[in-house]
Amino acid sequence: MFHKEGQKIIFITLVIVVAIIFAIDYTVTLPWLRIALMFLALAFFGLILQFFRNPKRIGKLNDNHVLSPVDGKVVVIEEVQENEYFKDKRIQVSVFMSPINVHVTRYPIGGKVAFSKYHPGKFLVAWHPKASEENERTTVVVENNSFGKVLYRQIAGALAKRIVNYAKADDVVAQGSDSGFIKFGSRVDVFLPLDAKVKVTLNQKVKGGVSVIAEK
């Protein structure tokens, strides 16, 4: 199953790859070279397919849990000052996605969207300390009665040139459902209340919509 954000790119890539294979078959006479070049073209198409895959995830829905919004590796767990929405201290948990990870963004909690905003910006590498404040990004806050408010921020990286965010203020959303997509590598920051119990460790690999990153 592939994400709708990749349908156009997948189709265009398929047309190009088929054209390249026909060109190789027509112009390259050495059998080993013809096979090698065709294999490379098909491998490139395979990479595009795996990037836009959208596996169905069945996590245990729980209003007292915060699920990871994306697949990747936990690279930050620290207390920080969140200045855009809360304007107070929060626990930040950041998940870095490599180009080979699933890049679907999922709602970490279910509830009502209290805030959603897009910010144009730079394309610093996703692990840069200033990426959270200077890169192209979106900020979304979801609230429910059990956990309260959770903010997550999609952050573009050096390769990510488009962030897709479906969240709109006042939407009622389901935990683990699709909330957006980030194309070609990036990271997502999650800002939790100070009394949240973090359930992940640095460098831990997590799955979006499945892995519990915090609980009340």
- Per-residue 3-state assignment (H helix, E strand, C coil) for 164-196: EECCCCCCEECCCCEEEEECCCEEEEEEECCCC
Separation of alpha carbons 190 and 95, rounded Å: 8
Separation of alpha carbons 132 and 130, rounded Å: 5
Domain count, the chain: 2
Same domain, 122 and 84: yes
Instruction: Please indicate, yes or no, if residue 73 is contained in any of the structural domains.
Output: yes
Identify the pLDDT of residue 132.
64
Q: What is the CATH number of the domain that holds 100?
A: 2.70.70.10
Q: Let me know if 186 is a catalytic residue.
A: yes
The rounded percent of the chain whose pLDDT value lies above 70 is 89
Q: Which long-range contacts (CB under 8 A, 24 or more apart) does 44-49 make?
A: 44/13, 44/17, 45/13, 45/14, 45/17, 48/6, 48/9, 48/10, 48/13, 49/2, 49/10
Instruction: Please indicate, yes or no, if residue 138 is contained in any of the structural domains.
Output: yes
At residue 22, the 3 state secondary structure works out as helix
Same domain, 14 and 82: no
Identify the pLDDT of residue 158.
58
Instruction: Please indicate, yes or no, if residue 60 is contained in any of the structural domains.
Output: no
Same domain, 39 and 84: no
Instruction: Please indicate, yes or no, if residue 56 is contained in any of the structural domains.
Output: no
Identify the pLDDT of residue 103.
81
Low-confidence ranges of the chain (pLDDT < 50): none
Same domain, 122 and 25: no
Identify the pLDDT of residue 48.
79
Instruction: Please indicate, yes or no, if residue 167 is contained in any of the structural domains.
Output: yes
Instruction: Please indicate, yes or no, if residue 85 is contained in any of the structural domains.
Output: yes
Catalytic residue, chosen from 68, 116, 132, 186, is 186
- Note down the domain range covering 40: 4-51
Which residues face 44 on adjacent strands?
none
Separation of alpha carbons 120 and 136, rounded Å: 5
Same domain, 173 and 77: yes
Unique residue bearing structure tokens 């890049």:
103
Same domain, 126 and 26: no
Identify the pLDDT of residue 151.
97
Separation of alpha carbons 76 and 74, rounded Å: 6
Identify the pLDDT of residue 196.
95
Same domain, 101 and 31: no
Same domain, 36 and 133: no
Identify the pLDDT of residue 130.
61
Instruction: Please indicate, yes or no, if residue 58 is contained in any of the structural domains.
Output: no
Q: What is the pTM of this model?
A: 0.82
Same domain, 37 and 75: no
Same domain, 110 and 150: yes
Same domain, 113 and 140: yes
Identify the pLDDT of residue 165.
92
Separation of alpha carbons 209 and 71, rounded Å: 9
Distance in angstroms between the alpha carbons of the first and the last residue of the chain: 34
Identify the pLDDT of residue 208.
93
Looking at residue 86, what DSSP letter applies?
Answer: T
Instruction: Please indicate, yes or no, if residue 17 is contained in any of the structural domains.
Output: yes
Same domain, 98 and 17: no
